[in-house]
Structure 1
């Protein structure tokens, strides 16, 4: 079974994109990432395609002729851990590791409660600025004189995740491809003494992969459509504006035979007070004193299909980068990272998981490696 791909924080990871772009724009925010250097320009457009793993693009290059043409001479970077949208988008916007910005999963425990924060839907009782209190890289760039714009769906403007991850940037709400491209062209226009960074997001490929799987004709058709969108965007941009295409994570298809449901297994439920995370990367919040037994039981039941470790072991491994003390209780007492195409479902708390085919969150190369495509 193929090994895990460890995150390359500070070298060539998703959190290094904005710091690298800042150097290229002539407004450095600090030391340059040691493994990610971008050419100088007055304007950068960062197009993030949700779910487009580097290996998926290589495997299905025939469906994306434009994007795959940019693979030559490029090498992938890594997502953070877990390899999931909320963590990745926050790493991009803040320039921080997951252990610093604190969005360390799709769902995580709200400290002091038995409630989970769903970082996509958010919770009105949780202040996103308190949850993620650090100044974003987008804000720092604005202070440095770079005009930073987020181009995304109207419904995401002011959402908890947007505030936590991307506050400080101007926001342009769009819902259609045509207006998205037009908005990017307008926002990315540099002034004589003001460079620009424009971030634009497309989530349709990820949704299609979850619903139909990455080997499906539906996913391939969606990839072809997004490839055409990216090419249209490049054609609409003047030559002096650089287009950087990246992703937040990849995806693997999980067959029915490779799923186990916590709610159908008394041994896996024993000692676990709350199940968080997602099917490929679980946070287990344990009853008092139960951690050693939970680790032993889960290792015995799952065997080589997953890596099961304590919070401390995962932190020592460097999975989350340096961890802020306020973030510690959000991480599971035990974390479970799936190998291969295995998944741990919790249908009582997450009934929709049984309907998903494509999943992500763990540290396999298919999930962790993301493209860095420059045009």
Structure 2
């Protein structure tokens, strides 16, 4: 029986279209997201705020839930890949950040893309695409990013925020205030405002927790205050990098003890909801085929198990640069039910304790809000 695998919605507006469309609105053009003209804009990205979770808590977010609009975030639904797509306007196969952790084949290692940068994986060369902020500078538009100080000098910041000045502010309220000051300055400015708190809470406690709802209420209140303060030529756009779903203990699967699932596998990359398996370079075609079939036999009822070639042909990563192709797993195991996988060989045989999860193709993960305020709401 042939399994139908997911694909990017043809022609759908995605996270890659957001910043280019904002820049177009500030420079007299019209992007894939049609926006009225504005002088300056704040683009708020709330990490982990999926449309489904927002809808379920709409009574706690009257500003964010009171307006319609959503978009397809992209794939994989993980922060490093999605934020890079957001700031470059390019898909992972082009910019090169294809997962939470990826294979650095030259050094025979798996590296986390949020924190694993070093001299061997330099942000200025590993991330292949120019940013929208660099394009903005060429058009006479200033760019600023507002976020916590802990990210100011990170490798990911260097990789994806080229062309933007990083402004630090610790609390959510302080970040909104700083963004308000920046967008009010004379001239044209794009202000990227980043709120990671909801995603952090969801990982630890789940999006259904009281703590997550309280953080949503705080963000929603700040959105309302900022929107009310905007001048007629200042726009505010709100979106997210991905959604999230809660996975209980029964959905956390430990593998590695079954030889058939790891035969010939040298590295396990990706994330718990979308494994990327890399074979030993000298693994025979027979071993590769047997391991692929073992995964399909074991997990096809709750996962899409595809080869790299099938994923690329299906457009999962968008157009794939030849430099990027080896970073994608030889086999991908993408959850289609509420499950995650952990390699017991590296986890002491234990499943992880993280509740909120993302990385795969479900609507809870791929559908994110797109809300317009100020000049963009006209």
TM-score normalised by L of structure 2: 0.91
Are the counterparts in 2 of residues 9 and 321 from structure 1 also a CA contact under 8 Å? no
The Cα offsets for residues 60-84 of structure 1, whole Å up to 9 and x where unpaired, read as 211212211122xx2x111121001
CA distance in 2, matches of 1:50, 1:87: 12
Are the counterparts in 2 of residues 291 and 334 from structure 1 also a CA contact under 8 Å? no
Q: 1:103 aligns with which of 87, 97, 101?
A: 97
Correspondence list, 1:214-363, <5 A: 214-287=207-280, 288-289=283-284, 290-349=287-346, 354-363=352-361
C-alpha displacement of 1:371: 0.6
The Cα offsets for residues 93-151 of structure 1, whole Å up to 9 and x where unpaired, read as 11111100000100000022331111111221211111013221111111111111111
Aligned equivalent of 2:22: 21
Q: Which runs of 5+ in 2 are unaligned?
A: 374-378
Are the counterparts in 1 of residues 172 and 195 from structure 2 also a CA contact under 8 Å? no
Cα–Cα, structure 1 residues 10 and 133, in superposed 2: closer, same or farther, change >3 Å?
A: farther
Are the counterparts in 2 of residues 8 and 77 from structure 1 also a CA contact under 8 Å? no
CA distance in 2, matches of 1:302, 1:284: 14
Cα–Cα, structure 1 residues 275 and 333, in superposed 2: closer, same or farther, change >3 Å?
A: same
C-alpha displacement of 1:310: 0.4
Residues 1:116 and 2:110 are matched in the alignment? yes
C-alpha displacement of 1:7: 3.1
Are the counterparts in 2 of residues 285 and 334 from structure 1 also a CA contact under 8 Å? yes
C-alpha displacement of 1:32: 3.3
Residues 1:7 and 2:8 are matched in the alignment? yes
Aligned equivalent of 2:376: none
SS at match of 2:341: strand
Q: 2:72 aligns with which of 74, 78, 84?
A: 78
Correspondence list, 1:68-217, <5 A: 68-71=65-68, 74=69, 76-125=70-119, 126-191=121-186, 194-217=187-210
Are the counterparts in 1 of residues 84 and 97 from structure 2 also a CA contact under 8 Å? yes
CA distance in 1, matches of 2:218, 2:135: 34
CA distance in 2, matches of 1:269, 1:291: 10
SS at match of 2:300: helix
Cα–Cα, structure 1 residues 356 and 275, in superposed 2: closer, same or farther, change >3 Å?
A: same
Q: Which runs of 5+ in 1 are unaligned?
A: none
Are the counterparts in 1 of residues 12 and 72 from structure 2 also a CA contact under 8 Å? no
Aligned equivalent of 2:46: 49
State the Cα RMSD in Å: 1.9
SS at match of 2:43: strand
Q: How many residues align?
A: 364
The Cα offsets for residues 274-327 of structure 1, whole Å up to 9 and x where unpaired, read as 101110011100122233222101001112100001000000000100000100
